[in-house]
Every structure is written in structure tokens, then in C-alpha cells.
């Protein structure tokens, strides 16, 4: 417990910043969901033919996995907060629409007849009778949506929207339990606070005498309490809406992206630090965007200006080219084809090769006398592999391996991302994992890397990829990027990854320290 508190204290500024970002995103999403859901609930209570279609569509949205919704939204809305807000709105609609509809439908017919009898119009009945009487049930739906939105918004970090999910995902990637808790605990507290606040707000807005099963709602609310809650709601509304609108304004800055791997975060910070120090350009760090496929899409759409990809990924996964072990040829072809097909430019290739490897524990290597992938092939039917999702799906990775190793058939395949596969291997829940040759955790767990004796895996040299926008608007950055690339060796990247993955240091700190040590920046 004391270790966790010390860790929280060391990053308290980051936690507070991410917490406010989380609140801002959540409130903005819920406000928009209320603005959409309540009118829809009222509409279907009057137009009965629309009830089943509207509720059916809302149910479908609720059933779609949240990550799938993000995946669908990215091509249209890009990266960052927009797809995250879109996802939370869709998930929040069902309880708001359904409770609004149920609340209005539950009002006795006699009450409505009495309202008509005293001469009220349809609009007056809705505003003065139906909505006030339905408020207890409507607020219950809003309350559910608000609390659920807090948890859902942690996924926003997967596409670079920020929030407390950033700490959770970073912790999972590096197997840093302290970092996971530093994101999860504030998110839980935030959910409880919002639930309590919504309970107070419910008492304020619901007319006295109406209840949803809680006798406390019958108690009179002081005028001072109503004033404080109203002012607080107004401040939060202005802060969340104003914050979103301000962040939506395009700023004159060079945007550097990265995926959510430790190595990518280190590289993203390195290039950003170098450009800021060596030019007059402002740099926006759009880091931790999920997989490199998201980065590639963001670069295509002009949402970022640069990120570091890998020649093997571009050659095999993007261009769908056949296996090739010639590093220079892979780079040359990838550079030509990427420019031709996507109008994106590959700058100088770095010296570090982050290729795939099969990795096993020492006891497994000794038991089966494993030194090469061919040795692994002979006993693969007795072993369980826990590959990354990308390795499990990419044609140039596990799906195509039988082109060189035809008898590779693992007993079981349990795909998982991040450092958790290393933990599974160390705990003997797995026998084999795919690793990147620059992974710092290989040294930490003292693992054996098997030689790719038939040279199946593509070379995966790091290579900065930039947009036309960068070349035209930020031309001085090109020389700076290429200068840094010369200093990035495989051994050096492995050491840097070790600092983040094993010693649990911040990628930005590790990146800056390296630049100073290499004489590229002053302290």
C-alpha cells in the first residue's frame, strides 16, 4: 500500500490532469446523450410506430463491443476524442431513451384528462405535467448512463483521447501494476462521486412529493442547496463544452503520433524533443494511439504528420508483399510503393531492427533442445503459444509461417497483447511467445530467443514516415529527423525499452536522457 501511495505521489500532477480530462470527456458525452435521448424518448411516446425501431436500434448499439464501435468510427471521425465521445453517446442512449419513454407512459390517463379538462394545450401538458412527473424515472436513466460513461471512457486512451485509461493501458503494456491502479482507482472514485452528485441533482430537479422508491427524495431541498448545485452544474457544463470546443480548434503545430508500445512512446518523444530543440516548430504529441494501423490511418487522414513505422509492417501488412529477407530491398520497395499508393514519404531507415522472434523459457529450451525455429517446429504440437493479436493475424507473421515451417502446429493458441504474454510465459501458463528483438523484457525474464534459421520473418527496421504536409510546411524537420535516426541501434533500443518496461520509468524521461547522452541535446 505504501509503495502504491509513493507512486501516486510521484505522478500526482499527471493523475490530476488525466482525471480532469476524463471528467471533461465524460460530461460532454453525457450532455450530448441527454440532448439526443430525452427528445427521442418523448417522440416515441407520442409516435407509437417509432417505439420498436428506435429502441431496437439503441439496443443494437448497446450490444456492439466498445472497441468495435471505436474501430468503425475511426475512418470517419479520426483519432482522439471524437470517436470516443461518439462511442459513449451511443452506449448512453438506451437507458435515457427507454426511461424517458417509460416515465411518460407511466403517467395515469386520469391525470392527463384532468390537464386537458382545465384547458391545457398539448405542449403545456408535456412541459408542466408529463416531464415533471416522469423526471424521477428519466433521472434514473441519466444516472445509469453517467456512471457507465466513466468506465467506458477509459477506452478513449486506446485512440489517443486521453483520460485515466492512459495509465491503465500503459500499465498493462509494461506489466506495471502500480500504473494500472493509478488509473483504475481514480476512475472508480470518479464513478462514485458522479453517482453521488447525480443523486443530489435528482433530488434538486425532481418535484417534491414524487419518488422512485427512495423515500429520501421526498425530503425538501434547501434553496441554498439548489443554488449551489445549479451553479456547479453550470460551471461543469461551461468547462466541459468550452474545453471540447477549444480543443477542436486547429492549432499550428507539427503532430507526431505513435502506437501504445513502450518503444513507440520512446521514439515519439525523442523525435518531438529533437524537433522542438532544433527548430522553431511547435510539436503536438499524439502518442499511444493503439496499433500502428491506427497511426497509419491517422497519417493518411492528415491528423498526424509523422510516426515511426517498421519496414516489415509496411512491406507485408500494408502492401501485402511476399516474404523477403533482404533489408535494403524491403526498404526500397516499401518506400516506392508507399509514396506511389498513399502519397506518404519514408525518411531514412534507422539502424535498429525490431523483427519478430520466437522466445521460450530456458527450461523449455533445455527440455526440447531448442536453438532454432526449425527445432521449435518439431515439437510445436506439444507447446502452447501466447502471441500478440497482430502476430496472430498478420499474413507475414503466424498465419503464413507454414510457407517456411510447414509442420508448425501449436497445441494451443491464446492471443494476448502487451507484457501480459511475458507474465503468462514466466508463470508457465504458456510455452512460447512472439517477441520483438528489441524487447527489454527478454533480458528481464532471461528468455531464449530462437534463431530464424530459414529466414521467414521480414526485417523490421524502424523508419519515420511523414505526410506531404510535413514536407511542405515543416521542411526543416526532415534533416533533424534523419539526424536522430542514425543514432538508434538495436542494442540501444533494447536498453531503452528495458528502462521503461522493467524499471518502470516514464518514456519521455528515458527519451530525453538518451538524447542528452548522445550529445544531441543539452541537459
Give residue-wise pLDDT tens across range 206-237: 766 555 444 444 556 666 666 676 677 767 66
Q: Which of 311, 296, 303 minimizes the C-alpha distance to 344?
A: 296
Strands (E), 223-292: 254-257, 283-286
Q: Quick check: 245 pLDDT over 90?
A: no
Q: Quick check: 356 pLDDT over 50?
A: yes
pLDDT level of residue 268 (50, 70, 90 thresholds): very high
pLDDT of residue 215: 43
Cβ within 8 Å of residue 152, ≥6 positions away: 66, 87, 88, 91
Report the pLDDT averaged over residues 191-204: 82
Gap between the Cα atoms of 135 and 122, Å rounded? 18
**Residue 462, phi then psi, degrees to nearest 5:** -65, 140
**Residue 306, phi then psi, degrees to nearest 5:** -165, 150
Give residue-wise pLDDT tens across range 306-332: 999 999 999 988 998 877 888 999 999
pLDDT of residue 506: 86
Q: Which carries the bigger pLDDT value, residue 183 or residue 396?
A: 183
Report the pLDDT averaged over residues 443-447: 88
Give the chain's radius of gyration (CA, Å): 27
Q: Quick check: 38 pLDDT over 90?
A: yes
Give residue-wise pLDDT tens across range 404-444: 999 999 999 998 877 788 889 999 999 999 998 888 888 88
Rounded to a whole number, what is the largest CA-CA distance in the chain? 92
Query: By mean pLDDT, which of 240-254, 352-366, 386-400, 487-501 is the weakest?
Result: 240-254
384-402 CB burial, b ≥16 within 10 A, e <16 = bbbbbebbbebebbbeebe
pLDDT of residue 17: 86
pLDDT of residue 340: 94
Gap between the Cα atoms of 275 and 259, Å rounded? 19
Query: By mean pLDDT, which of 65-69, 136-140, 326-330, 381-385 is the weakest?
Result: 65-69
Rounded (10°) CA dihedral 15, 18, 20, 25? -150
pLDDT of residue 294: 83
pLDDT of residue 203: 76
Strand order in the sheet with 254-257: 283-286, 254-257, 306-310, 462-466, 345-346
Q: What is the mean pLDDT of the chain?
A: 86
Rounded (10°) CA dihedral 95, 98, 104, 105? -140
Q: Quick check: 161 pLDDT over 80?
A: no
Rounded (10°) CA dihedral 178, 184, 187, 192? -110
Q: Residue 217 carries which DSSP code?
A: G
CB atoms within 10 A of CB 435: 26
pLDDT of residue 221: 60
Q: Quick check: 80 pLDDT over 80?
A: no
The three three-digit cell numbers of residue 324, written as one number: 523477403
pLDDT of residue 385: 94
pTM: 0.75
3-state secondary structure at position 228: helix
pLDDT level of residue 495 (50, 70, 90 thresholds): very high
Query: By mean pLDDT, which of 228-237, 454-463, 474-483 is the weakest?
Result: 228-237
pLDDT of residue 246: 55
Task: Provide the residue count of the chain.
Answer: 523
Gap between the Cα atoms of 27 and 8, Å rounded? 25
Q: Which of 82, 49, 8 minimizes the C-alpha distance to 303?
A: 82
Amino acid at each position: 500500500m505504501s509503495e502504491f501511495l509513493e507512486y501516486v505521489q510521484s505522478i500526482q500532477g499527471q493523475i490530476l490532469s488525466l482525471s480532469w480530462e476524463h471528467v471533461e470527456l465524460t460530461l460532454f458525452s453525457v450532455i450530448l446523450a441527454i440532448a439526443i435521448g430525452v427528445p427521442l424518448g418523448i417522440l416515441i411516446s407520442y409516435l407509437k410506430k417509432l417505439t420498436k425501431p428506435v429502441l431496437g436500434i439503441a439496443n443494437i448499439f448497446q450490444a456492439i463491443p466498445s472497441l468495435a464501435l471505436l474501430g468503425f468510427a475511426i475512418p470517419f471521425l479520426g483519432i482522439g476524442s471524437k470517436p470516443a465521445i461518439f462511442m459513449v453517446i451511443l452506449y448512453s442512449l438506451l437507458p435515457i431513451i427507454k426511461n424517458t419513454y417509460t416515465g411518460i407512459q407511466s403517467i395515469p390517463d386520469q391525470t392527463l384528462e384532468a390537464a386537458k379538462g382545465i384547458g391545457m394545450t398539448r405542449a403545456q401538458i408535456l412541459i408542466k405535467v408529463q416531464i415533471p412527473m416522469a423526471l424521477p424515472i428519466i433521472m434514473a436513466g441519466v444516472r445509469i448512463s453517467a456512471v457507465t460513461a466513466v468506465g467506458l471512457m477509459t477506452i478513449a486512451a486506446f485512440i489517443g483521447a486521453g483520460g485515466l485509461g492512459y495509465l491503465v493501458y500503459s500499465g498493462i503494456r509494461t506489466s506495471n501494476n502500480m500504473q494500472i491502479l493509478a488509473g483504475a482507482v481514480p476512475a472508480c472514485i470518479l464513478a462514485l462521486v458522479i453517482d453521488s452528485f447525480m443523486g443530489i441533482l435528482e433530488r434538486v430537479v425532481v418535484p417534491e412529493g414524487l419518488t422512485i422508491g427512495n423515500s429520501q427524495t421526498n425530503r425538501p431541498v434547501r434553496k441554498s442547496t439548489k443554488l449551489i448545485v445549479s451553479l456547479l452544474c453550470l460551471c461543469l457544463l461551461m468547462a466541459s463544452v468550452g474545453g471540447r470546443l477549444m480543443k477542436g480548434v486547429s492549432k499550428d503545430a507539427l503532430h507526431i503520433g505513435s502506437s501504445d508500445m513502450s518503444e513507440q512512446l520512446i521514439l515519439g518523444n525523442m523525435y518531438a524533443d529533437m524537433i522542438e530543440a532544433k527548430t522553431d516548430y511547435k510539436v503536438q504529441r499524439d502518442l499511444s494511439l493503439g496499433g500502428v494501423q491506427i497511426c497509419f490511418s491517422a497519417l493518411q487522414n492528415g491528423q498526424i504528420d509523422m510516426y515511426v513505422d517498421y519496414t516489415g509492417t509496411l512491406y507485408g501488412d500494408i502492401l501485402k508483399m511476399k516474404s523477403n529477407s533482404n533489408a535494403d530491398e524491403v526498404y526500397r520497395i516499401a518506400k516506392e510503393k508507399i509514396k506511389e499508393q498513399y502519397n506518404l514519404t519514408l525518411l531514412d531507415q534507422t539502424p535498429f531492427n525490431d523483427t519478430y522472434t520466437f522466445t521460450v523459457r530456458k527450461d523449455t529450451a533445455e527440455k526440447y533442445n531448442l536453438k532454432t525455429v526449425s527445432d521449435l517446429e518439431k515439437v510445436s504440437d506439444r507447446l502452447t503459444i501466447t502471441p500478440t493479436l497482430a502476430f496472430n493475424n498478420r499474413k507475414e507473421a503466424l498465419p503464413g509461417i507454414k510457407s517456411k515451417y510447414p509442420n508448425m502446429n501449436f497445441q494451443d493458441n491464446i492471443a494476448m497483447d502487451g507484457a501480459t504474454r511475458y507474465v503468462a510465459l514466466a508463470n508457465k501458463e504458456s510455452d512460447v511467445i512472439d517477441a520483438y528483438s528489441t524487447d527489454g523484457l527478454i533480458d528481464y525474464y532471461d528468455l531464449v530467443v530462437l534463431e530464424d534459421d530459414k529466414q521467414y520473418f521480414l526485417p523490421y527496421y524502424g523508419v519515420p514516415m511523414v505526410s506531404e504536409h510535413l514536407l511542405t510546411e515543416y521542411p526543416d524537420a526532415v534533416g533533424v529527423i534523419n539526424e536522430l535516426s542514425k543514432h538508434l541501434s538495436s542494442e540501444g533500443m533494447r536498453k531503452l525499452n528495458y528502462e521503461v518496461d522493467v524499471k518502470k520509468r516514464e518514456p519521455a524521461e528515458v527519451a530525453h536522457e538518451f538524447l542528452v547522452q548522445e550529445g544531441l541535446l543539452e541537459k
